[in-house]
Structure 1
Amino acid sequence: MSDEITVRPLGVDDWEQYKAVRLNALEESPEAFVATYDEEKDYDEDLWRKRMQRSERLLAENGNGVVGVASVGTARPVEDEDNADGLVGELFGLWVTPAARGTGVATRLVRAGAEAAKGQGRRHLVYWVGSDNGRAVAFASGFGFRPTDYRRPMRVKADDSEEEIAMILPLGEDRAVPTLRV
């Protein structure tokens, strides 16, 4: 049994594995997601395959099996033409199994997400974090994400007064903060 963490991208044909880990995440941490287990459990194969094509899905594993997941897609700009070239990626759906939290899995997933975004030609990676979640803000900051002025109401099932903050990671020479849709 190895504790070495590996992260690999999932292909369209890996939809069943992604579905299993996604449903596990929704069931274990319902407060962390916009969707619910009950909403997604009966989605058909076609929908899961389309999801696999929309964004890159990254799976973290160790000797015990699957320990985390994250996704990288295109960030939504303020206006469609602002990111028409797709230069801003978004990291989302980051989840680590409770037993593997604090072991470096999230760091490995974020690093793999940044590499994937850079490989896709993205110049920035945005990650939305609860502004009251000091641990998440500190984690993202320690990784190199910088807070921006962009805020939006929490999209997850939470108190309506809570906000998310967009944190930006430059992936190259361009340090300017891109315009985002909130």
Structure 2
Amino acid sequence: MVIRQLTLEDVDAYWALRLRAIREHPESFGASYEEEKELSMDAVRARFPSSEDGFALGAFERNELVGMVGLSREKRRKLRHKAMIWGMYVSSEHQGRGIGRRLIAAVQDRARQMDGLEKLILYVVIGNAPAQKLYRSMGFESFGIERNALKLGDVTYDEDLMVYSL
């Protein structure tokens, strides 16, 4: 298992895995599959996170991208002490093998090297017990609940707002 920062050379594999994640778990992502699948690869490349304030990490097994997670730091001066973790996903056939734990640990390690960054924030759908358990075991603490955070048709989902202090 290799975990490394994704680059534009990985964009096709990244996008395929992201679309799979959104399609298989629509309740866990703010993006919708129907909207995202319509994006051109040029648009995907243009918004691909690859700066000192935003990046995506990938977990590779035998050169196949099997998991990913992103980080986006706030840009405004009064908010630059925090960053958001987004897009966490491990393919179903690779779950239960510690890949998610390694991805989160890699984000935490990299975040500690970012000057002035003090905390990481993430949102996880309440009811996604494996993800909530993972984040708690990695030092994240709940600081609130957003009721009806996501809405799919007539069904709403609450999110657990979690923070990790660097």
For this structure pair, what is the TM-score category when the shorter chain's length is used for normalisation? 0.7 to 0.9
Equivalent of 2:106, from 102, 108, 112? 112
Amino acid at match of 1:143: M
Q: Percent identity?
A: 27
What is the CA-CA distance between 1:170 and the residue it aligns to?
1.0
RMSD over aligned Cα, in angstroms?
2.4
What is the CA-CA distance between 1:125 and the residue it aligns to?
0.7
Please identify, of 65-74 and 35-44, the stretch whose mean Cα deviation from structure 2 is larger.
35-44
Partner of residue 180, structure 1: none
2:40 matches 1:57: no
What TM-score, normalized by structure 1, do the two folds share? 0.76
Partner of residue 158, structure 2: 163
Q: Are the counterparts in 2 of residues 25 and 95 from structure 1 also a CA contact under 8 Å?
A: yes
**Residues 121-172 of structure 1 deviation map (CA, whole Å, 9 limit, x = unaligned):** 3211111122343332222111110111353532363832x3212111111x
The 1:13–1:133 alpha-carbon spacing in structure 2 relative to 1, beyond 3 Å, is closer
Partner of residue 18, structure 2: 22
Q: Are the counterparts in 2 of residues 12 and 53 from structure 1 also a CA contact under 8 Å?
A: no
Q: Which runs of 5+ in 1 are unaligned?
A: 172-182
Partner of residue 103, structure 1: 97
Amino acid at match of 1:12: L
Equivalent of 2:136, from 124, 138, 141? 141
**Residues 80-138 of structure 1 deviation map (CA, whole Å, 9 limit, x = unaligned):** 6640xx21111111111111111001101111111222233321111112234333222
What is the number of equivalent residue pairs in this alignment?
161
Query: SS of the counterpart of 2:72?
Result: strand
Q: Distance in 1 between matches of 2:128 and 2:15?
A: 27
The 1:116–1:69 alpha-carbon spacing in structure 2 relative to 1, beyond 3 Å, is same
Q: Distance in 2 between matches of 1:155 and 1:129?
A: 11
Partner of residue 42, structure 1: 38
